[in-house]
């Protein structure tokens, strides 16, 4: 498993390096960084001062070296807006986004598993049609509209929850409810489909032939097999949320990475934006590894340890190693 993990980390580190180089190139290719970093009304003297101070007059390879050195020290420069360390600002905003994403996905997955499984029990039954309508609607509603209507109805008219901020549990209700819709809708569709096909597999009949209850057949035999496609889609959706739910975070004043990115773009705070992009890239990189581990956990056939052992055994068999376990048919043993 550790070998596999190491391989997986190395192979997915490459895209990460590409992102890092891309960010570097972005800061240079979109014109003079001085005009990107400095306010529009900066004087010529300020610009020259900036160029010298940031080593922009040095050859490109030295700049690149410094840039990478800075990344390794988590030094992305300071924010033009607040004068704070850019990496610090991004790291402080990130937990809020992660919490929002985690809460959203947890609720969406639990609900979708129940609704999707129930719908799959009788394809084209009443429940299935209702679930299909519900999930389609949930997946199609634009989040900005839902957020605004939610604020208007529940925060302003009814006054049940605050309009924005993170103070108290009530503040979570509207952002989470808004964000849950799309993952819920998409996951219901995926889980329903996977459950329909898994419920028609022969191993379901085998489980029934042992006298298993409906709960056991559906909840353990079918669901476990339907979980892998669910994980794929849930992983993609989580990546989207970790990226920062830009619109929803902005509307609800949620102090997450999405809001920070938008604010940085609007105020040309390039150092902070750069830190945000790299931090998000790292988070997605880690998330992808976790998803891969999840696959291995769910399905023994993709479990690398078993595969490696199988390969070793096959190799030793080719060399005539008698420890290989075979059907007695092959070795001539009698029953």
Stretch that binds another protein, among 50-58, 75-83, 136-144, 218-226 (CB under 8 A): 218-226
Question: CB under 8 Å to 327, separation ≥6 — which residues?
Answer: none
Inter-helix orientation angle 304-318/2-29, to 10°: 120
Handedness of CA 175, 176, 181, 186 (dihedral sign): positive
Question: Which CB sits closer to another protein, 162 or 230?
Answer: 230
Q: Which helix (H) or strand (E) holds 57?
A: none
Asked if residue 126 binds another protein (CB under 8 A), the reply is: no
What character string, x for contact with another protein (CB under 8 A) and - otherwise, covers 276-315? ----------------------xxxx----x---x-----
Structure-derived torsion over alpha carbons of residues 304, 310, 315, 321, reported in degrees to the nearest 10 = 140
Residue 158's Cβ-count burial label (10 Å; 0-12, 13-18, 19+) is: exposed
Asked if residue 205 binds another protein (CB under 8 A), the reply is: yes
Question: Which CB sits closer to another protein, 192 or 221?
Answer: 221
Phi, then psi, of 85 in degrees rounded to 5: -65, 130
Shortest Cβ distance from residue 80 to another protein (Å)? 53
Stretch that binds another protein, among 11-19, 109-117, 213-221, 263-271 (CB under 8 A): 213-221
Question: Which CB sits closer to another protein, 75 or 299?
Answer: 299
Neighbours of 288 (CB within 10 A): 15
Question: Which CB sits closer to another protein, 44 or 327?
Answer: 327
Shortest Cβ distance from residue 220 to another protein (Å)? 8
| Structural contact between residues 313 and 307, judged by C-beta atoms closer than 8 angstroms | no
Asked if residue 47 binds another protein (CB under 8 A), the reply is: no
Asked if residue 210 binds another protein (CB under 8 A), the reply is: yes
SS3 assignment for 206-220: HHHHCCCCHHHHHHH
Phi, then psi, of 78 in degrees rounded to 5: -110, 155
Binding footprint of another protein, residue count (CB under 8 A): 30
Site for another protein (CB under 8 A): which residue of 8, 28, 216, 268?
216
Question: Which CB sits closer to another protein, 6 or 205?
Answer: 205
Inter-helix orientation angle 257-266/86-121, to 10°: 130
Asked if residue 165 binds another protein (CB under 8 A), the reply is: no
Shortest Cβ distance from residue 108 to another protein (Å)? 23
Handedness of CA 38, 43, 44, 46 (dihedral sign): negative
Shortest Cβ distance from residue 224 to another protein (Å)? 5
Binding positions for another protein, rule: CB under 8 A: 201-203, 205-213, 216, 221, 224-225, 298-301, 306, 310, 325-330, 333, 335
């Amino acid at each position: 498993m550790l070998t596999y993990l190491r391989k997986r980390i190395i192979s997915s580190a490459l895209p990460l390096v590409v992102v890092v180089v891309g960010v570097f190139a972005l800061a240079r290719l979109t014109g003079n960084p001085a005009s990107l970093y400095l306010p529009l009304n900066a004087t010529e003297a300020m610009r020259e001062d900036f160029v010298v101070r940031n080593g922009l007059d040095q050859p490109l390879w030295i700049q690149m070296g410094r840039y990478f050195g800075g990344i390794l020290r988590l030094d992305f420069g300071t924010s033009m807006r607040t004068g704070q360390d850019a990496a610090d600002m991004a790291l402080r905003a990130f937990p809020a986004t992660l919490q929002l994403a985690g809460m959203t996905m947890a609720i969406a997955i639990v609900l979708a598993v129940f609704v999707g499984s129930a719908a799959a029990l009788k394809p084209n039954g009443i429940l299935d049609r209702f679930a299909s309508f519900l999930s389609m609607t949930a997946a199609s509603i634009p989040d900005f509209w839902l957020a605004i209507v939610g604020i208007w109805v529940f925060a302003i008219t009814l006054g049940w929850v605050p309009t924005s901020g993170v103070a108290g549990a009530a503040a979570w209700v509207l952002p989470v409810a808004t964000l849950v819709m799309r993952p819920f809708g998409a996951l219901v569709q995926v889980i329903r489909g996977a459950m329909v096909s898994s419920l028609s597999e022969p191993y379901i009949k085998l489980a029934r032939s042992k006298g298993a209850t409906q709960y056991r057949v559906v909840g353990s035999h079918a669901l476990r097999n339907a979980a892998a496609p669910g994980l794929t889609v849930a992983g993609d959706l989580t990546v989207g949320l970790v990226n920062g739910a830009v619109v929803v975070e902005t509307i609800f004043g949620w102090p997450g990475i999405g809001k920070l990115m938008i604010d940085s773009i609007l105020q040309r705070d390039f150092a902070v934006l750069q830190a945000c992009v790299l931090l998000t890239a790292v988070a997605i990189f880690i998330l992808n590894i976790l998803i891969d581990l999840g696959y291995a956990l769910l399905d023994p056939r993709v479990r690398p340890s078993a595969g490696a052992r199988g390969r070793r055994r096959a190799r030793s068999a080719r060399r005539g190693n008698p420890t290989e376990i075979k059907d007695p048919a092959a070795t001539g043993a009698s029953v």
